[in-house]
Amino acid sequence: MRMSAAARTVLPALAALIAAYLVLAYFLVPEMWIFREHRLPHFDSMVTATADDIPGDPINVGLVGTKAEVMNAFATAGWHAADAITWRSSIDIGLSVVLHRPDSDAPVSPLFYRGRKQDLAFEKAVGDSADQRHHVRFWLTDQSDNDDRPFWLGSATFDRGVGLSHDTGQITHHIAADIDAERDGLIRDLQAAGHITSTYDIDGVGATMNGRNGGGDSYFTDGLTLIGIVASGAENRQGAAPLR
């Protein structure tokens, strides 16, 4: 079938427009943000960063427990480990959003804490697609408790919908502003599943009313990081073991 004259004109223009968008959103604008952020005082040590080195979501939750204990706790609580980002998983999450079909283990974008991508990520779907979901990323630290169980720091947020980043124009999930609600809800889920024996707070990003993450979304927080002690087998800890 021969292509019409109109199609021969429109298709190259459309391809050029898409290429211009990709270059602008994924290369030029991120470089502008990197330049801007590096001229400002460096962001707080309890804030993650995007792959473009733009300040991301704050650290607002933590766990003490082995990897197996943490994985088991989330599985029992009805949360799913997020898939790695591959062509297949990227297509699946896209179809989930567009076709409104479930994808309970959809991938999450990488965030970096102290130069490292998250070690673990979990999510709990809301509704019939990956458009909205509770999710959390965790980073293994070099600290442990008195029983040599690892200390994990994490960032819990709620994805309220898919759209374009307010800062770069990249396709992304937008988060809900009340990140404390996500932090507290996550720990409540693990407690209800019988896997958290005690909790305590540590200083986090600090009280913030007008924060902005790497997608340009606003957030507010009391600034505390809520730490949960994961149950070790049948043991029921009565207090939080100190970190060392």
Per-residue model confidence as pLDDT tens digits over 119-137: 999 999 887 766 789 999 9
- The model's pLDDT over 174-203, given as tens digits with 9 standing for 90+, comes to 899 999 999 999 999 999 999 999 999 999
Residues 89 and 197 in one domain: yes
170 and 108 housed in the same domain: yes
User: How many CA atoms lie within 13 Å of 114's alpha carbon, on the beta-carbon side?
Assistant: 11
3-state secondary structure (DSSP) of residue 168: coil
**55 and 148 belong to one structural domain:** yes
Whole-number pLDDT of residue 165 = 57
Structural domain count, the chain:
2
One domain for residues 10 and 123: no
- Closest by alpha carbon to 119, among 68, 154, 87, 147? 154
Residue 80: pLDDT above 60?
A: yes
Residues 136 and 217 in one domain: yes
Tell whether 77 and 105 lie within a shared domain. Answer: yes
pLDDT at 91: 59
pLDDT digits 0-9 by tens, 205-233: 999 999 998 888 999 999 999 999 999 86
Query: Do 29 and 82 share a domain, yes or no?
Result: no
DSSP labels for 139-156? EEEEEE-TT--EEEEEEE
Range of the domain at 141: 43-230
- Average pLDDT of the residues in 84-104: 55
